[in-house]
Amino acid sequence: MAWKAEIIAVGSELLLGQICNTNAQFLSKQLAELGIDVYYHTVVGDNPKRLREAILTAQNRSNLLIFTGGLGPTKDDLTKETIADALGKKLTMDDDALTDIQAYFKKVNRSMSENNKKQALVLDGSTILPNTTGMAPGMALLDSDITYMLLPGPPKELQPMFLQFARDYLLERLGMKEQIVSKVLRFYGIGESQLEADIEDLIDKQTNPTIAPLAGDHEVTLRLTAKHQSLAEANRLIDLTESEIRNRVGEYLFGYDEDTIYSVLFQNIKESQYTLASAESLTGGLFAEKMTSFPGASNVIKGALVCYTNDVKENVLGVSKETLEQEGAVSRKCALEMAESVKTMMKTDIGVSFTGVAGPEKLDNQPVGTVFIGIALPNKETIVHKLQLAGSRESIKHRTAKSGCHLLLKELFK
């Protein structure tokens, strides 16, 4: 049976924008790894009439309905009551869940109010999903060829429950005995459309592993997912596909899984025992802020200078007055002098500089999005890269800082 999944998040706070629907993102990723397609995301407020309408709509188009939120003790927590009513099911008290809730209140030395017992009510005939980090249990129920799964709203409760119990329930329903292995490949400096075009034939013939492209935050990722009864064989299939992809677009690959382009650059510089300093104009210290967020940063990043005005570029950093007057602050020559000066000033192995036009107006007769990145390396000539970026002011700043990471990785470790 091909599953069509729908994630239904319950909570007026989601509609009001008070919190983000991170549960849907988490569940979609987890279901993708199981080979279950998510067709719809639905958000509905704490209203039984509208929730019932959402259930009826989902029943007509999906056969795996996963609900998040609305399992708590208050009057507006109506998820399981509304589902029970829609399915004609009774709610029964789960003794194990009630015992766990009573034990929790005893542990924290608080008296348990009567309404907390409500959290131990479950759909009659459902499989209970224990809550190891909270009180309300989850549950799963098969009814008329549709699987209903109810999970708590707080991510700290939902995520452990899914990974420890709900995932196994779904695997059993799928009849899967294979090992599932996923690996995320992260790319920078290539657009999603270009990456897909370069590996289009691999995507078209994908079976096992599957290849799922995803763009976001100025980067592109590919999620490779393989299934096999042998874990070693699943990993081998992943490695073979990755090798084919690397042969085509490997120059843009910077990391895997939870890596960021900043963490990869930091780790490479740390392992090489280099030191780094930055001179930042349009990025305003963004690069240094990101690079100093890792433990042990003081062994890698000696310092940074935010030189936003020409006066600071000249009188603090030491960029020549002639360069600023004749070439301008947004120029190849200025970026070169900034990188070399900050490297000398802070006595580091590497100096990197960022100067350009973030907008909204042009500067030094350079259009918005013009960026120069200078890289002063140990025992090499200083290199300056010119970029022409598009987007909002904030987007240009972030893309500039990430581009600096990408270029440093290429120049230092190619």
Per-residue 3-state assignment (H helix, E strand, C coil) for 145-166: CEEEEEECCCHHHHHHHHHHHH
Same domain? 126 vs 72: yes
User: Of 174, 209, 244, which one is at a domain's C-terminal end?
Assistant: 174
Same domain? 372 vs 265: yes
The model's pLDDT over 11-26, given as tens digits with 9 standing for 90+, comes to 999 999 999 999 999 9
Q: What CATH number does the domain containing 362 carry? A: 3.90.950.20
Buried b (16+ CB within 10 A) or exposed e, 269-292: bbeeebbbbbbbbbbebbbbebbb
Same domain? 184 vs 70: no
Q: What is the mean pLDDT of the chain?
A: 93
Q: What CATH number does the domain containing 13 carry? A: 3.40.980.10
Q: What CATH number does the domain containing 202 carry? A: 3.30.70.2860
Same domain? 233 vs 324: no
User: Of 174, 191, 215, which one is at a domain's C-terminal end?
Assistant: 174
Q: How many residues does the chain have?
A: 414
Is the pLDDT score of 176 beyond 70?
Answer: no
Same domain? 211 vs 352: no
In this prediction, residue 1 carries a pLDDT of 66
Question: What sections of 192-331 are H helices per DSSP?
Answer: 192-198, 200-204, 231-249, 261-272, 286-291, 310-312, 321-326
- Parent domain of 233: 179-256
Same domain? 65 vs 150: yes
Structural contact between residues 335 and 353, judged by C-beta atoms closer than 8 angstroms? yes
Same domain? 202 vs 230: yes
Same domain? 55 vs 167: yes
User: Of 231, 256, 281, which one is at a domain's C-terminal end?
Assistant: 256
Considering its fold, how many domains does the chain have in total? Answer: 3
Same domain? 217 vs 284: no
Same domain? 224 vs 287: no
Structural contact between residues 78 and 51, judged by C-beta atoms closer than 8 angstroms? yes
The model's pLDDT over 115-154, given as tens digits with 9 standing for 90+, comes to 888 888 999 999 999 998 888 999 999 999 999 999 999 9
Same domain? 242 vs 275: no
Structural contact between residues 281 and 356, judged by C-beta atoms closer than 8 angstroms? yes
| Rounded-to-integer distance, Cα 260 and Cα 283, Å | 18
The model's pLDDT over 110-122, given as tens digits with 9 standing for 90+, comes to 888 888 888 889 9
Same domain? 158 vs 190: no
